[in-house]
Amino acid sequence: MFVLAHLSDPHIGPLPRPRLAELASKRMVGYVNWLRGRSRAHRLETLDALTRDLAAQAHDHTAVTGDLVNIALPAEFATAQAWLDRLGAPADVTFVPGNHDAYVRAALPYWDKHWEAFMQGDAEAARDPSARVARFPFVRRRGPVALVGLSSAVPTAPLSASGRLGHDQIERAAALLRQLRDEGLFRVVLIHHPLRHRWASPHKRLIDAGPFRRALAQAGADLVLHGHDHRNALVWLEGPGHPIPVVGIPSASAVPNGHDEPAGYNLYRIDGGPGRWACEVVSRGFRRDGTGAAMGIAETRRQTIALTDRP
């Protein structure tokens, strides 16, 4: 059995005090939002409690699906790197970026500086660093599991949190998924944005969700993990052999008495083999009583996903 942990949207605080010049962009809107409420909705002590609980659970690998930072100030990236380092070694932690990590175009060079080791595939890690290739998608093989990392994170206009994969990334991802199927591996797709299409809010959705869903319908996958919505979600997409479970989770730093669902993470217990994979999902996180007070961290849900049967 292989156990994969999934965290998302930690929005690590507190926010460093920005220089005035750093706010001459979309960051101004984000900074105002932080002061008006996000700083109270996402707390470092909540994130620390959740990650301590995760450390006490037996697991083989951890996936983090984006939004380490808030408004992508330069000082935020080193803080986020320190948090990733505490979570585990780069070989044991896989990260894909979210829209807040690409809040402004000037933030993108900091990905390489601080997070490169957590967001590169096995082949890329062994390649000459001077030979630059497209970073996404990347593949990490861990035991019976193949992690396929995608980036839907692109700089957007103020008040927009949409994402985009792009035609080339979708085509490469589909080819990799077919190859990994032939290798007999359990294929886990990591992406920040959910895969809703027409009914999603235009300013928050994955713009090319439709083309990616069609690619998955042909190439297949065994599990898709995402964040972005800050809530638990399970939907099923059409696949070539069996339906594909797509699972979202809350923010890892959401306070238990806030507006969003309280902080939580999932453990995926993957067992079986090609044609007979099974995955039990164990959700752990903060509970709330009727008044909204925190009840501590506990198991909140356990569900078996039978990948060879329709839900």
Question: Predicted confidence band at 196 (pLDDT cuts at 50, 70, 90)?
Answer: confident
Q: In the chain, what are the domains? A: 2-306 (3.60.21.10)
pLDDT tens-digit series, residues 78-116: 999 999 999 999 999 999 999 999 999 999 999 999 999
Residue-averaged pLDDT of the chain: 91
From the CB of residue 164, how many other CB atoms can be counted at a distance below 10 Å?
17
The per-residue pLDDT for range 257-289, each reduced to its tens digit, is: 767 899 999 999 999 999 889 999 999 999 876
| DSSP designation for 122 | H
Mean of the pLDDT values across residues 130-156?
A: 88
Q: What is the pLDDT of residue 189?
A: 98
In angstroms, the CA 15 to CA 72 distance is 10
Give the strand order in the sheet containing 93-95.
93-95, 61-64, 2-7, 264-271, 278-288, 294-306
303: Cβ contacts below 8 Å, ≥ 6 apart? 234, 280, 281
In which band, very low, low, confident or very high, does the pLDDT at 183 lie, cut at 50, 70 and 90? very high
In angstroms, the Cα distances linking 179 to 146, 184, 244 are 11, 9, 17
* Structure-block tokens of residue 271: 């067992």
Q: What's the rounded Cα separation, in Å, for the pair 2 and 301?
A: 19
What pLDDT, in 10s, does the model give residues 54-83?
Answer: 999 999 999 999 999 999 999 999 999 999
DSSP string spanning 13-53?
Answer: -SPPPPPGGGGTTTHHHHHHHIIIIIHHHB-HHHHHHHHHH
